[in-house]
Amino acid sequence: MRALIAVAFVATLIAPVAAQAPAVTLKVGDQAPDFTLQASDGKTYSLADYRGKKAVVVAWFPKAFTAGCTLECKSLAANGARLRKYDVAYFMASVDPIDENTRFGQSEKADFPLLSDTDKSVAARYGVLSARGMANRWTFYIDRNGRIAYIDRAVNPETSAEDILARLGQLKVATVN
């Protein structure tokens, strides 16, 4: 009986922690989960469209119009010309509605698409969905073959673009002329 009580007690301690952990834990070398999502530019983007053609960066962010997310968006927008020197498609992505991401992108003069995963299914497959129902601020680097080349789980919103540029160089992503 004591053993059952002890197991039940431990289970009640572990359950909240387990509920907060991502259901999926992707790692470098894994095939990146495919997605097809609406974007702030009115288009729909699919990861499969880039396979065999170019690398992809998906910068997940928690919530449009919040302080950190605004800093991150501004960083990417301010460095668009430098980012486009690499043969890479890059996006910010959240679980916010498309109209909110569109307004957010316009307000920050984003020259790149912001993806909306309103049903949270892609965020769940990437393991970024937090217990609060928002995406964690993680950036995924996906190679030309659709495999995860790097995952940044410690994104600094203020230097996001500079950090992405450095990582693209480290990953030897091709540049365009």
Question: Would residue 73 show up in a list of annotated catalytic residues for this protein?
Answer: no
Domain ranges of the chain: 24-170
pLDDT at residue 2, rounded to an integer: 56
For the stretch 154-171, pLDDT in tens is 999 999 999 999 999 999
For domain 24-170, the CATH superfamily is Glutaredoxin (3.40.30.10)
Catalytic one among 39, 47, 69, 168? 69
pTM assigned to the model:
0.86
Q: Which tens digits make up the pLDDT trace of 15-56? A: 443 344 445 799 999 999 999 999 999 999 999 999 999 999
- Pick from 143, 148, 140: which is nearest to 32 by CA? 148
Question: What integer pLDDT is reported at residue 177 of this predicted model?
Answer: 73
Question: What pLDDT score does 7 carry?
Answer: 41
Among 97, 67, 90, 87, which residue's Cα sits nearest to residue 152? 90
* Closest residue by Cα to residue 61 from 39, 36, 93, 32: 93
CB of 95 within 8 A of CB of 120?
yes
- pLDDT for 10 equals 42
Q: Which residue reads 């999926």 in tokens?
A: 24
CA distances (Å), origin 2, targets 7, 8, 11, 14, 133: 9, 10, 14, 18, 37
